[in-house]
Structure 1
Amino acid sequence: MLQRTILGLAPIQNSLLGTGVVLTVLFTVSRPEASAGLGALARLLFWSAHIGTALLAILVVSALIRRFNPTRWPLWWLVVSLGLFGCLLSAPVYWLLELGFAPHLEHSEPDGYWDVLGARGPWHGIAAEAVEAMPQFMVCWIAINLPLLFARPTVYGDGGGDNPSDPEPTSDTEQEMKQRRDQFFDSLPEVIGTDIVAISSDLHYLNVYTELGQAMVLGSLKNIAEAFGEEGVQLHRSHWVMKKQVKKVCISREDAYCLTHTGQRVPISRANRKLAKALFGQLNHSAVALQGAVSANAAAPLKRVQ
């Protein structure tokens, strides 16, 4: 249930904003000690800033983690070290918030070791905020990365596949693209092979779908799209598909997606509908029949049609 989602319920990137709103409302209503003495509006602003800062830091470290090669660095090490870095990024903002709201807080006077340390000066205050925020931040960050840390490949068939044979590169650019593809293939579990069907992104994760199965790896969808060049197309900001794998295209007023030979449904954004028609226009004649045949699966992008 951890594969591709938080507890199998929703993509992580779509859950962050909702989680932030829920936590902000919860802390505003419950009046924890950290905001004691503030009025309702001030508490709302205080917790919106606190939680918003944490979520922004998570997005920053999510962007950074995509730049590291997990074959060179242990994944657990990357997650923990970048989580600590994200906490350090948040600390100066937390310190400024405490400084700005301090005159209105009931406990504005130092009442603990870290408060006493923080009162010694700006750097001490930032360090104290980092230490106090670290447990909560790291728990949230590691929870977000559980799908990646414990991901296991899902197999559709038996055996694996060899890396697709590329023609010999004729330029430095083609050589670089081939190296990118080879690195990407090396990151995939052998059991699912390398016949790529589609790839979707969720924060710093890539959910890779092949003819034999699916797996979650670390990476950037933009880099993958560049590496495969004209072999595939990104018709949605979070989804890419191999052109030769597209069987049918369905474009209607309410929905638009590609159906692959393996049964994956790859969403098409409204802005890319014209591009999809230009690329796969000859497949649109069966779109109406297709829509009725698979309408029951419309709620799950990239869901395998049985």
Structure 2
Amino acid sequence: MGLTLPERITLVALNVWLPLAICLAASRWVMASPAARLLPYWLWLTLIGAAAAWISTPAFVALEAWLGPLDLDGGPPPNAPDLRSLLRDWPSEAWEAVRVIVPVWLLLNLAVRWSRPAPIGGEAQADGRPGFLARLPHRLGDDIISVRAEQHYVHVETTLGGELLFCGFGRAVHELTTHGAPGMAIHRSHWVAWPHVAEIYTVGSEVRCRLKSGQTVPISRRRVREAREAFEAFRSLPAGAA
């Protein structure tokens, strides 16, 4: 193609890393928000990939205009587009990008999901922290406040911040329970640590858990009695025994 090194770098950056960066940023935001529950996980990934392709299309068109007479697509040299032609060609160019970006994005997620082994409960990790704690970035520390299910991810909140982790909620609860974390899955999507629970209270027909941070978490009806008993048992422990 006769591209210079800066042109090659720009070509790769715009055609590969730009849509990938958009996909990663969008997926982290969506999966950590309540919107993640509205659609199936893989449908969200498909929509995110399509949106990234649509957003990246102007950069692809601008790239061809910048490279001028070079033949990027095996056809005649492209002409520098004006705003009118860009708007006219945007849908067709975006569709071509969608046909490439979406399958690649889905395959990358599938590969990550299948290739990342989950730590086995009871197995100490290389950094000395067992089970679920080994998943946490060191900057978040070990003092977990709560864990919330987000499709194939969990959102973990600690006293130092929050993070979205690639881990099933059931696996997270199993590892926390195996290693004696002082807490409980009070809902099919929520685990809380008793040291950070302020109270369990009733609002109408609902029973909720209020954390010391001010956040409230619902308690499943079938777990209300167990949650109350476990919380009272924790509060009755001598200071420093938890």
| Range class of TM-score, shorter chain | 0.3 to 0.5
Bigger share in helix: 1
Give TM-score scaled by structure 1 length. 0.38
